[in-house]
Amino acid sequence: MMVELGTSMSMHDRVLAVIQGRKPDRIPFCDRLELWHTALIRQNRLPADFDGLSLNESHRKAGIGQLKFVRPHDFRLNGVELTISVDNEEVSRETAPECQGWPLMQELVQTDRPGSTVFEFVTPVGKISLRQVVLPEAVAWSETCYTAENPIKEPEDFDTVRWIIEHMDVIPRFDRIRAGEAEVGDFGFVVPKLERIPFQEVLIDLVGELNTFYVLNDNPSYIHKLLAAIDELRVKTAAVLSNLDSPYVEFVDNVTGHMTNPKLFAEYAIPEYQRYCELYHAQGKRVGSHFDGELRPLLGQLRDTGLDVIESISPAPLTECTFDELWQSVGGGPPLMWGVIPSPLLEESTPEAELHEFVDHVLETVNGAPIILGVSDMVLGNNLIERVEWCARRIKEHVI
Amino acid sequence: MHEQDNADPDSAAETSSSLDHGSRPWILGEGPGPPCGHGREERTREDNLMDLQQLIEAVIAGNAPETKALTEAALSDGVAPQTIVDDGLIAAMGVVGEHFSRGEIYVPEMLLSARAMQSALAIIEPLLAKADIVSRGTVVIGTVKGDVHDIGKNIVSIMLKGSAFTVHDLGVDVPAERFVEAIREHKPDVLGLSSLLTTTMPAMRTVIEALETAGVRDQVKVMVGGAPVTEAFALSIGADGYGRDAVEAAEQARQLILAAG
């Protein structure tokens, strides 16, 4: 039986140490239980020994540090009249609204009930709308809403969206970061959540993947002008966040090589990452991005981004890229890997031995090099908390 | 400002799920026009005979206007519509598929080629219908109940159409009963099920069970796909095929139909 050596660092300090290039006393194990927690409460299946525990208490009990994403600012949409309708009934109308989640507005969508929410943005140059949908199954599993309609549907929508972006103000909300830190305490890590880099915002949120590909071919100036507008907003945001006392910030890019293929990654994503990393590095902050998709096509390019961390790394069986391929490519960083343990290994349908073999192999391969382990993309409602607990024990007893 | 491309006769997805997304594939234009100097007024017979090879190249390049022009030229030259489809368009998409499988091109290039092909098919299909020539096969495809992810399904659908299959896309969040109805209505050769969440993968098994209960399971080959879906899972639920990506899915569909005779 392994003797547990003295562990002097908190989970927060372990994560921070790895991000800052210092050696922790143990490999940090830090990720999100929020989906699991909410799903099991809604399905009335929360294990008895978690009943009544807050989310942070649940993290402490399971042994997995609490990763908490918090938006450190709002956007004020100057000159915009925003109307929100739920299931075809208007529920609010506001001029120059302040919102966290432009353009997807997800924080304004009720995800505890099924429904369709339409956001209509009226400006002096035109109007756009987007629709978010929550299915009954998504409520039960505590999943996020789905963008059923992107804001840009017609050529003229490009001008309207650009107008909105060009007239936005960035409003600091650093109090949210401090509140989040108070919530997670020493057993977690609050990550100031940035938006996506411009290309990813166009690809996923504003236009949609397939239409972006068509427009890039047919009339690339539409995309390029929009990227330029978003870039200015990112630079403006970085200036505001220069006053934020935080060692790390992260773009929520949901990168997958299937959509942001190597050609597009080289042409758009890499220059954008390099630009913003330079801005945030000058502030003393490390920079990460959420890379939860298929990375095999992009392995040779990851180091070129300038990123310090790629978070929510999702190897096989979630994607085709194996952990070994990832490790051979960027093992030890930069960029550092955060994530790695695929959530399907925590499902009852997967033999537990596969999870044990995977984690043991990772620990052996890593061999003391810097990494932050977690569950990718996060712990889901169909994952067994006992397996999370096993991972926590195994990682804690592993001496580095 | 470019006009929207209405070349795809099957562009509207069936909204048979409980959701009406109201969105449709939106295309600013068809891409760059024919290369400079490619005039049509002084074409020789030799020019026309070369069109099939040039047609293949235009499809591979994703050049829809050139593809349409060359298709019209081939037709006026007396090339049989089915020959244009088989030896020109499908042959071109086969090359596109090979390039994609080898990682030489990616999804955007594949979509542009498929769009080019469909722009030509829009010209040819009325002629094929007149000649009573059937398509390669019929596929019903949809994302299972509880799941609204559709990018992969849409790409597969486009590639299947690009391989001259008739495709009926049921959309997303499709309940098992709707798949059963679609089989009775369209009598497809293949049913394609898509899921992008591990929490919705079990719905694929539900669909197969519903087919069995309805007595239509043996009328159709079932293929499954989506990021978390594996071949092992496909086998475990009794699916007939599994597509790792859009190109493989289209090829699998072709193989399943051939095997069924």
Task: Tell me the C-alpha distance between B196 and A349, whole Å.
Answer: 17
Co-location of A80 and A66 in the same domain: no
Residue B7 falls inside a structural domain: no
Stretch B243-254: mean pLDDT: 84
Residue B253 falls inside a structural domain: yes
Co-location of B77 and B122 in the same domain: yes
Quick check: ipTM above 0.85? yes
**Between these two residues, B259 and B216, which has the higher pLDDT value?**
B216
Residue B183 falls inside a structural domain: yes
Task: Tell me the C-alpha distance between B86 and A293, whole Å.
Answer: 36
Co-location of B160 and B234 in the same domain: yes
Q: Does pLDDT of A91 surpass 60?
A: yes
Structure tokens at B178: 């709707």
Chain A residues near residue B62 by CB distance under 8 angstroms: 217
Chain B residues near residue A153 by CB distance under 8 angstroms: 23, 26
| Cα radius of gyration (chain B) | 19
**Between these two residues, B239 and B244, which has the higher pLDDT value?**
B239
CA distances from A360 to A246, A354, A357, A365 (A): 33, 10, 5, 8
Please identify, among B130, B159, B193, the residue that sits at the C-terminal boundary of a domain: B130
Residue A163 falls inside a structural domain: no
Residue A368 falls inside a structural domain: yes
Q: Which structural domain, as residue segments, surrounds residue A86?
A: 74-151
Query: CATH code at B212?
Result: 3.40.50.280
- Of the CA atoms within 13 Å of residue A392, those in its CB half-sphere come to 20
Residue B18 falls inside a structural domain: no
Stretch A195-202: mean pLDDT: 98
**Chain B residue at shortest CA distance from A317:** B228
Residue A159 falls inside a structural domain: no
CA distances from B93 to A215, B81, B87, B168, B200 (A): 21, 17, 10, 20, 32
pLDDT in tens, B70-118: 999 999 999 988 889 989 998 999 899 899 989 899 999 999 999 999 8
CA distances from A276 to A99, A100, A283, A293 (A): 22, 20, 11, 21
Predicted local distance difference test score (pLDDT) of residue A189: 98
* Helix residue ranges, H only, chain B: 45-49, 51-60, 64-76, 81-83, 91-101, 107-130, 151-162, 176-186, 202-214, 231-236, 246-260
Residue A262 falls inside a structural domain: yes
pLDDT in tens, A315-340: 999 999 999 999 999 999 999 999 99
Residue B27 falls inside a structural domain: no
Please identify, among B67, B96, B130, the residue that sits at the C-terminal boundary of a domain: B130
Predicted local distance difference test score (pLDDT) of residue B130: 65
Q: Please, are residues A309 and A291 in contact by the beta-carbon 8 Å criterion? A: no
How many domains does the structure of chain B reveal? 2
Beta bridge partners of A146: A133
Predicted local distance difference test score (pLDDT) of residue B125: 83
Stretch B235-260: mean pLDDT: 87
Co-location of A190 and A132 in the same domain: no
> Exposed/middle/buried for B46, CB within 10 Å: 0-12, 13-18, 19+?
exposed
Residue B32 falls inside a structural domain: no
Q: Does pLDDT of B256 surpass 80?
A: yes
Q: Does pLDDT of A254 surpass 60?
A: yes
Q: Please, are residues B252 and B165 in contact by the beta-carbon 8 Å criterion? A: no
Structure tokens at B201: 């993968």
Q: Does the beta-carbon distance from A143 to B197 stay under 8 Å?
A: yes
Co-location of A268 and A291 in the same domain: yes
> Exposed/middle/buried for B213, CB within 10 Å: 0-12, 13-18, 19+?
exposed
Co-location of A58 and A125 in the same domain: no
Query: CATH code at B103?
Result: 1.10.1240.10
- State the helix-helix crossing angle for A155-166 and A220-241, rounded to 10 degrees: 20
Mutate which: B100, B150, B197, B198, vs A, most A CBs within 10 A: B198
pLDDT in tens, B20-72: 233 334 444 455 544 433 444 555 656 655 669 999 999 999 999 999 999 99
Co-location of B213 and B142 in the same domain: yes
What's the mean pLDDT when you consider all of chain A? 96
Chain B residues near residue A382 by CB distance under 8 angstroms: 198-199
Task: Tell me the C-alpha distance between B19 and B22, whole Å.
Answer: 9
Residue A347 falls inside a structural domain: yes
Among A153, A217, A219, the residue with its CB nearest the CB of B112 is: A217
Co-location of A214 and A134 in the same domain: no
Please identify, among B70, B96, B130, the residue that sits at the C-terminal boundary of a domain: B130
Please identify, among A105, A121, A151, the residue that sits at the C-terminal boundary of a domain: A151
Co-location of A121 and A132 in the same domain: yes
Co-location of B71 and B160 in the same domain: no
Predicted local distance difference test score (pLDDT) of residue B127: 86
pLDDT in tens, B132-143: 555 679 999 999
Scan for tokens 């079990």, then name that residue. Answer: B202
Co-location of B86 and B154 in the same domain: no
Residue A349 falls inside a structural domain: yes
Co-location of B253 and B144 in the same domain: yes
Hey, how many other C-beta atoms are within 10 angstroms of the C-beta on A3? 6
Hey, how many other C-beta atoms are within 10 angstroms of the C-beta on A251? 26
Predicted local distance difference test score (pLDDT) of residue B24: 38
Stretch B165-176: mean pLDDT: 95
Co-location of B152 and B122 in the same domain: no
Stretch A58-72: mean pLDDT: 98
What's the mean pLDDT when you consider all of chain B? 81
Residue A164 falls inside a structural domain: no
Predicted local distance difference test score (pLDDT) of residue B247: 80
Band (B126; pLDDT cuts 50, 70, 90) = confident
Q: Please, are residues A25 and A398 in contact by the beta-carbon 8 Å criterion? A: no
CA B95 to chain centre: 15
Among A135, A259, A261, the residue with its CB nearest the CB of B146 is: A135
Band (B4; pLDDT cuts 50, 70, 90) = very low
Co-location of A114 and A223 in the same domain: no
Co-location of A364 and A302 in the same domain: yes
Kindly state the DSSP code that residue B87 receives in the 8-state scheme: I
Stretch B187-207: mean pLDDT: 94
Question: Which residues of chain A approach chain B closer than 8 Å at the C-beta?
Answer: 116, 131, 133, 135-138, 141, 143, 146, 148-150, 153-155, 209-211, 213-219, 222, 258-259, 261-264, 294, 297, 317-320, 343-344, 347, 380-382
A39–chain B nearest CA distance, Å: 11
A216–chain B nearest CA distance, Å: 9
Stretch A44-68: mean pLDDT: 97
Mutate which: A35, A117, A130, A135, vs B, most B CBs within 10 A: A135
Predicted local distance difference test score (pLDDT) of residue B43: 54
Co-location of B126 and B180 in the same domain: no
Co-location of B214 and B250 in the same domain: yes
pLDDT in tens, A255-300: 999 999 999 999 999 999 999 999 999 999 999 999 999 999 999 9
Q: Which structural domain, as residue segments, surrounds residue B149?
A: 138-260
Hey, how many other C-beta atoms are within 10 angstroms of the C-beta on A297? 20
Query: CATH code at A336?
Result: 3.20.20.210
**Chain A residue at shortest CA distance from B148:** A146
Q: Does pLDDT of A53 surpass 90?
A: yes
Residue B23 falls inside a structural domain: no
Task: Tell me the C-alpha distance between A15 and B95, whole Å.
Answer: 48
Band (B257; pLDDT cuts 50, 70, 90) = confident
* Helix residue ranges, H only, B131-215: 151-162, 176-186, 202-214
**Chain A residue at shortest CA distance from B149:** A146
Scan for tokens 């002084």, then name that residue. Answer: B42
Co-location of B166 and B228 in the same domain: yes
SS3 A137: helix
Co-location of B149 and B62 in the same domain: no
Q: Please, are residues A33 and A62 in contact by the beta-carbon 8 Å criterion? A: yes
Q: Does pLDDT of A114 surpass 50?
A: yes
Co-location of A290 and A316 in the same domain: yes
CA A174 to chain centre: 19
Q: Does pLDDT of B144 surpass 90?
A: yes
Predicted local distance difference test score (pLDDT) of residue A66: 98
Co-location of A393 and A364 in the same domain: yes
How many domains does the structure of chain A reveal? 2
- State the helix-helix crossing angle for A55-62 and A174-184, rounded to 10 degrees: 50
Q: Does pLDDT of A193 surpass 70?
A: yes
Co-location of A210 and A87 in the same domain: no
Residue B54 falls inside a structural domain: yes
Co-location of A266 and A304 in the same domain: yes
Task: Tell me the C-alpha distance between A150 and A170, whole Å.
Answer: 23
Band (B17; pLDDT cuts 50, 70, 90) = very low
Stretch A5-10: mean pLDDT: 74
Mutate which: B3, B28, B204, vs A, most A CBs within 10 A: B28
- Work out whether strand A336-342 and strand A372-376 pair parallel, antiparallel, or are unpaired: parallel
Co-location of B119 and B155 in the same domain: no
Q: Please, are residues A28 and A372 in contact by the beta-carbon 8 Å criterion? A: yes
